[in-house]
Amino acid sequence: MPEIIYGSLIAEKCRTETAEKTAHLKKRTGKAPRLDVIIAGDNPASRIYVRNKEKAAANTGIVSIVHALPVETPRENLLQRIAELNENPEVNGILVQLPLPNPEDEKIVTQAVSPDKDVDGFHPLNLGRLMLREDGFTPCTPRGCMRLIHSVLPDISGLNAVVIGRSTIVGKPMAQLLLNADATVTTTHSKTTDLPSVCRRADILVAAVGIPRFVKAGWVRDGAVVIDVGINRLENGTLCGDVDFEAVLPKCRAITPVPKGVGPMTIAMLMENTVEAFCRQNGIDPAQRTNPSL
Ligand code: NAD
């Protein structure tokens, strides 16, 4: 029977573990981890994401401060705010909610966040560390996808993994994480020829494209594990992923749904990254667990 991997349930477990860790850190240091989120403008989707992040922080004992800036905020002011947060020792993690009103600001603003507080993992230094398998911050969505994959395949060494999409926030770090875990990885994109036959080689197929129900049943090898990162809003207001879920489900060993799949994991991983930032900034080994059985 194909298994549906409910990221919502796994994220809940991660949040419980993070809350326990935060409580322990608070007892040990007298401080709680703190995440500062900068949001510029009034993009409705961004506002919902930021509200969800605040909720998750509250549930895990993390202090979250939202800096809501007007849409016309000049780049210099954004950079000034980031510089202040970089220097403030009370702040452990900084996240700039994307997209920014002016997309041209995104690169310079992302790179202005201190790599030690870059809990989104988008700074070039952290992306480089990921490539070098050194300690740093891993982008939250691919990190969450790896947890979901490992929930059904604890060892992926030697398996064929295909990633559809090569964005900096999902596709590329996803491929790197799979490679770091010793999978044989193929990254595909809009210029890939004969994508269906490339996908049919996959033991693990990750779709991060942004096209509703793009991946068809005929593209999926029997027994594959399918991770659907896509979040697409249909005209009737409902959400669907990049995978034709109903058709693909019977062919899989396991598959993530949309919603309740990858989405909740992204925020859970952001909380974990914030706790890791706190630990590193306070000289505590982030791997240290409050309860070794967790
Ligand atoms: P993006 O637009 O930056 O990248 C899309 C990628 O898909 C590109 O690399 C492009 O080459 C590839 N692509 C486009 N058309 C293609 C085609 N016909 N064949 C093969 N590849 C093709 O998007 P993104 O930021 O990586 O996001 C991808 C999807 O994941 C979106 O639906 C987004 O909403 C979703 N997303 C979800 C989460 C989450 O938390 N679940 C987080 C980030 C993004």
One DSSP character per residue, 69-115 reads E-TT--HHHHHHHHHHHHH-TT--EEEEPSSPSSGGGHHHHHHHS-T
CA 210–ligand 1 middle distance (angstroms): 4
What does pTM read for this prediction?
0.96
Q: What is the pLDDT of residues 185-226, one digit of tens each?
A: 999 999 999 999 999 999 999 999 999 999 999 999 999 999
Helix (H, G, I), strand (E, B) or coil at 256: coil
Ligand 1 binding pocket includes 141 (Cβ within 6 Å) = yes
- CA-CA distances (angstroms) from residue 52 to 5, 30, 57, 115? 21, 26, 9, 24
To the nearest 10°, report the CA torsion of 68, 72, 75, 81.
Answer: -30
Are 95 and 118 in contact by the 8 Å Cβ rule? The answer is no
- Write the residue with the smallest CA distance to atom 4 of ligand 1: 167
Q: What would the mean pLDDT of 144-150 be, rounded to a whole number?
A: 98
As beta bridge partners, residue 4 has: 255
Measured from the Cβ of residue 139, the count of other Cβ atoms closer than 10 Å reads: 29
Q: What is the pLDDT of residues 100-117, one digit of tens each?
A: 999 999 999 999 999 999
Catalytic pick from 105, 118, 120, 228? Answer: 120
Helices and strands in the chain: count of H runs, count of E runs = 10, 11
Percentages helix, strand, coil for the chain (3-state, rounded to 5) are: 45, 15, 40
Ligand 1 binding pocket includes 52 (Cβ within 6 Å) = no
At 28, the pLDDT band (50, 70, 90 cuts) reads very high
Q: Is the pLDDT of residue 256 over 50?
A: yes
At 239, the pLDDT band (50, 70, 90 cuts) reads very high
- Write the residue with the smallest CA distance to atom 6 of ligand 1: 165
Catalytic, 53? Answer yes
